[in-house]
Amino acid sequence: MTVTLKINGKSQTVNAAEGTPLLWVLRDHLGMTGTKFGCGVAQCGACTVHVDGVPIRACITPHDSLDGANITTIEGKSGKAADAIRKAWQAIDVPQCGYCQSGQIMSAIALLEETPNPSDEDIDDAMNGNICRCATYMKIRSAIKDAAGSL
Amino acid sequence: MFLNADGSFRHEILPTQARALANPIVNLSRRKFLGGAGTMVIGMSLLSACAPADTFPEIEADATPSPLTEVKGGDATPSLFITIEPNGDVKLICHRSEMGQQTWTSMTQILADEMEADWDKIEIVQAVGDAKYGDQNTDGSTSVRNNFHRLRVTGAAMRHMLENAAAQLWKVDVSECKAELGVVYHTESRKKAHFGKLAEFAGKLPIPSEDMLTLKKREDWRYIGKASPSLTVPKIIHGQGTFGMDVRLPDMLYAVVAHPPQTQGKVKSFNAAQTMAVPGVKSTYQLPDATTPVGFNPLGGVAIIATDTWAAIQGRKALEIEWEAGPNAGYSSQIFAQAMQETARQPGEIKRKRGDVDAALANAEKTIVAEYYAAHLSQSPMEPPTATARWTDGKVECWTCTQNPQAARTTVAQVCGVDPSDVTINVTWLGGGFGRKSKPDYVAEAALIAREAGKPVKLVWTREDDLQHGYFHAVSAQRLEASLDADGKPSAWLHRTVFPTISSTFAPGADMPSAGELGLGASDMPFAIPNIQLEAGRAKGHIRIGWLRSVCNVYQAFAVQSFAAELAHAAGRDQKDYLLELLGPARHFDPNTEGAEYSNYGSPLEEYPIDTARLAKVTKTAAKMANWGRTLPESHGIGIATHRSFLSYVSTVIEVKVDADGALTIIGIWSAIDAGTVVNTGHTISQVEGGTLYGLSNALYGEITAENGIVQQANFPDWRVMRMSEAPRHFEVQIIESDAPPGGVGEPPTPPAAPALANAIFDATGVRLRSLPFISANSNTLPV
């Protein structure tokens, strides 16, 4: 089936089977591999993208349910919070392997866009859906606070 | 998009290094530092810094063999690792796999420091799997410790040749020429020549022997020992960079495999009619059955090949398949645990002996016995195993996230029946490894499937594949017994350890822990006790047993460091003070003098002794950092554990809070690491944090169990890992300054984590937890 999706401000026509999750449309059909596959069951957050500004898990979201929605991926995410998060992430070298970090960054940006000055509990709530096996959690928390402080 | 014009693969370059990359650097001769004569035209245009009179003499390229092929650590011939472009850009080959330990950065720090390269002009090129690089198995925390000297020599030889080229250009003595940040200066006149101008001529000069080189003094290090920023992070924050999962080839198909539920199980029959009806599914293919032993070979099963990953996964769900369970269908974790514990209660094979433990125990006034258990674990990196393969004219090229590209090459060759020279293994970034990606079964699967499909194929392991069909960290049972004298000091220490050996994956019937495995925390146990005995018991492997970050140290250090605290308690002593007494006087200890076949992580004890003074120092440092001995709030507890592994020393203190209902909060962690000479201080701290929390995640939740030979856990909902809210709010790391040779960094922080946590929980609750993990799948709290 043919569906037109609005991704990072650009209309993209894709031809994938009905119900195919957005994750595989992005990665396999559109070659946008910044959004990662980690579990396929919305438990690890590696596939986090924004739909109309809200972080969602692309691995369980059928692409054909997103007609008319604004989809933003790690490749296209910009703005003040995004800049602050990336800057803080780089300044303290948050990532280790980096595989989960697209999702971590997308969750962190969404947090700061909603809550510019998050408490530790806010950070826990916003980031608990994103697993990092390298366990960069200490530095993620620091970077979110640094980014918030710079906004 | 990820292919060069000549078909070779490379990582995209970093934004700050996006310069002059037109020249492929493949097929370099051992003598050349330049991509080809054609590039020189560009180089000649950059001569502005030099007076016109300066010209290189006409010389023939030196043809004598490199005198640097057998430097300690491997071949240090500069052209093996270094290419200098005419414009001065420096390409450094990284022969180790980047999996988050920042080996791209640390290898670059070493090479660039000695050759005096300009950091901003460096591009990393990931090596393919090729024996010419020496050991590429990125495992055992070996990258820095085994390559530090070698890469320093490589860089220094490059610098030497560039300085000599400048000397010949200026017709001055080489002692007057000094390399500095990509430029060679004439010290007196301050005349200068960029590396790019000197490179081709330098390549004609004799390669110096090691005794002709002067390595930089420690105080002159520019990059080594600093927190140089990661070379991968600038791309990661934009979702760029190529992991194994991200490889894309033109006309590529996607595959998943339905693996036999039991190890050594087989496909009896299958019906793909429903599968073929799934939109996007192109074909199915029955893989060869697993071999005995299974080794690195694929597990067998049926591949589903489709136009995207989702279609392949849906096709697998629709597959009707009947399995033959095979020889391991009787494996049940609960029954096996009991059998191992029984084995540990009987005398085993003596693997190390000091004094007379039997006599000391028989005559003791007080003996303490404790039995420990540790479940199977799964490495489960965030990126599951994946590989992409393409066949052309009987040769196969693979792109994959592997820790072990040479083993991938030989495995693919053997499984596909081709010569290793017809197999190319391109190494991508790894989305974590932790030991799983040292085993290249999935690369061989991809090669087999792509050959059958007649098109490039990306094989994807789902999280379920990863958790159910892995190479699992061994389950273990350990029994410790000690006698205490009237002063509470131990007079005897008997350690029995039982676990299925990793060798069971590679040699049929292997059922006795190897000397190498015992050397990971048992035969090297350093306590100053007059009578010590280590015994090992037999256990068979029924699922693939493999190594996981820090390997047997996980359970052996757990038992040893928990038991040390148990003895302290029995003696009515402070854990930390008692541990320091157990470590005893400062000395070097050689387990081989007590019958252990101790391999010391592949390094000589003369260079890397087991040094109890260093163990004591990290212990005291971590305790001081944690302000050990302070009064703790209600329901808080504190624990310490100290362990040497991979030639480094780590002590970790953990403070916990345990509520009445068993809910655990990790309040703070303080770790001291002595890893000898440290190349990157920032990333060492990251590894201590990450390695500790990885150990704690496994200690709290990591259990893998089998029933009827089938692994019971499938995905994150029923196999829990540590998340943000469970990580401590406070984590302090101190690196002990040392000029000792470098030790490992990626693994040593993991072993002390579990026993420090157990000791802290005991301190808080008075309940001693001896079975890993502490929190069962159907619970949210500690059993206290």
Rounded Cα–Cα distance for residues B310 and B247 (Å): 16
Candidate from A95, A134, A140 with C-beta closest to B724: A140
Asked if B456 contacts B252 with a C-beta cutoff of 8 angstroms, the reply is yes
Residue B735: CB partners within 8 Å, gap ≥ 6?
B672, B673, B674, B675, B678, B681, B684, B685
Q: What DSSP designation does A29 have? A: I
Taking contacts as CB-CB distances below 8 angstroms, the residues of chain A near B381 are 97, 99, 133
Residues 6+ apart with CB under 8 A from A51: A61, A66, A69, A70, A71, A72
Token readout for B346 is 């009987």
State whether A36 and B383 contact (CB < 8 Å). yes
Report the C-alpha gap between B468 and B331 in whole angstroms: 14
Q: How far apart are CA B641 and CA B756, in angstroms?
A: 5
Q: What is the second-level CATH architecture of the domain B15-230?
A: 2-Layer Sandwich (3.30)
Q: Is B729 on the interface with A (CB under 8 A)?
A: yes
What's the predicted TM-score (pTM) here? 0.94
The shares of helix, strand and coil residues in chain B, as percent rounded to the nearest 5, are 30, 25, 45
- DSSP helix/strand/coil, B727: coil
Residue B24 has a pLDDT of 30
* CB-CB under 8 Å, A75 with B313: no
Band (pLDDT 50/70/90 cuts) for residue B313 is very high
Interface touch B309/A37, C-beta < 8 Å: yes
β-pairing, B366-374 with B771-772? Answer: parallel
Give kind and range of the element (H or E) at residue B476: strand B476-484
How confident is the model over A13-22, as a mean pLDDT?
97
- Tokens read off for B783: 């059993």
* Test the B interface: residue of A23, A43, A61, A138 with most B CBs within 10 Å: A138
Q: What is the mean pLDDT of residues B39-53?
A: 41
Whole-angstrom distance, CA of residue B429 vs CA of residue B402 = 8
Q: Residues of B with CB below 8 A from A127's CB? A: 723-724
- Dihedral, CA of residue B548, residue B551, residue B554 and residue B556, to nearest 10: 160
Crossing angle for the helix pair B195-202 and B143-170, to the nearest 10 degrees: 90
Do residues B393 and A95 make contact, with C-beta atoms less than 8 angstroms apart?
no
A61 Cβ under 8 Å from any chain B Cβ = no
Judged by CB atoms closer than 8 Å, whether chains meet at B100 and A128 is answered as no
Question: Which residues 93-152 of B have a C-beta within 8 angstroms of A?
Answer: 98-102
Cα separation, B760 vs B355, whole angstroms: 33
Q: What is the pLDDT of residues B348-404, one digit of tens each?
A: 999 999 999 999 999 998 999 999 999 999 999 999 999 999 999 999 999 999 999
Contact list, B715 vs chain A (CB under 8 Å)? 39-41, 43
Reported as a single tens digit per residue, the pLDDT across B500-534 is 999 999 998 999 999 999 999 999 999 999 999 99
Put simply, whether A107 touches B (Cβ < 8 Å) is: no
Which tens digit of pLDDT belongs to each residue from B590-621? 999 999 999 999 999 999 999 999 999 999 99
Residue whose structure tokens are 């330049």: B34
**Bridge partners, residue B590, by sequence:** none
Q: Is the ipTM of this complex over 0.95?
A: yes
**Smallest Cα distance from B153 to chain A, Å:** 28
Question: Hey, what are A45's tokens?
Answer: 């957050």
The three-class DSSP label of residue B704 is strand
pLDDT tens, A59-78? Answer: 999 999 999 999 999 999 99
Judged on CB neighbours under 10 Å (0-12, 13-18, 19+), A145 is middle
Say what percent of chain B tops pLDDT 90: 92
β pairing state of B395-400 and B423-427 = parallel
- φ/ψ (deg, to 5) at B2: -115, 15
Q: What is the pLDDT of residues B702-741, one digit of tens each?
A: 999 999 999 999 999 899 999 999 999 999 999 999 999 9
Q: Please give the average per-residue pLDDT across B428-436, as a whole number.
A: 98
pLDDT of residue B54: 86
Read off the pLDDT of each residue in B203-208 and give the average, rounded to a whole number. 97
Q: Select from B297, B265, B609 the least CA-distant residue to B440.
A: B297
CB pairs under 8 A between A and B: 190
B537 membership: H or E segment, kind and range: strand B531-537
Confidence category of residue B32, pLDDT binned at 50, 70, 90? low
Residue B741 DSSP label: P
**pLDDT at site B69:** 98
| B668: contact with A, CB 8 A cutoff | no
Could you tell me the domains of chain A?
A: 2-72 (3.10.20.30), 80-150 (1.10.150.120)
The Cα-based distances of B477 to B340, B372, B625 in angstroms read: 6, 6, 33
Chain-chain contact of B254 with A35 (C-beta, under 8 angstroms): no
Is residue B183 within 8 A of residue B714, CB to CB? The reply is no
pLDDT-based confidence at residue A1 (cuts at 50, 70, 90)? confident
Give the three-state DSSP class for A39.
coil
Rounded to whole angstroms, how far apart are CA atoms B763 and B568? 12
Whether the Cβ atoms of residue B315 and residue B278 lie closer than 8 Å to each other: yes
The full set of domain ranges for chain B reads 15-230, 244-327+385-460, 333-377+471-772
Are domains B15-230 and B244-327+385-460 of this chain identical in fold? yes
Confidence of residue B241 (pLDDT cuts 50, 70, 90): very high
Q: Considering the domain B244-327+385-460 in this protein, what is its CATH number? A: 3.30.365.10
Put simply, whether B251 touches A (Cβ < 8 Å) is: no
Neighbour order of strands in the sheet with B386-392:
B281-287, B301-306, B253-258, B457-460, B386-392, B395-400, B423-427
Average pLDDT over residues B737-748: 98
Average pLDDT of the residues of chain B? 93
Fold assignment, B333-377+471-772: Aldehyde Oxidoreductase; domain 4 (3.30.365)
Contact B451, B416 (CB under 8 A): yes
Residue of chain B minimizing CA distance to A99? B431
Hey, what are B679's tokens?
Answer: 């190349």
Going B587 to B593 to B599 to B605, the CA torsion angle's sign is positive
Handedness of CA A150, A46, B405, B715 (dihedral sign): positive
Band of pLDDT at residue B776, cut at 50, 70 and 90: confident
How distant, in Å, are the alpha carbons of B124, B470, B689 from that of B429?
12, 20, 21
Can you name the residues that pair with B460 across neighbouring β-strands? Answer: B386
**What is the DSSP track for B771-782?**
EESSS-TT-SS-
> Does B755 reach chain A within 8 Å, measured CB to CB?
no
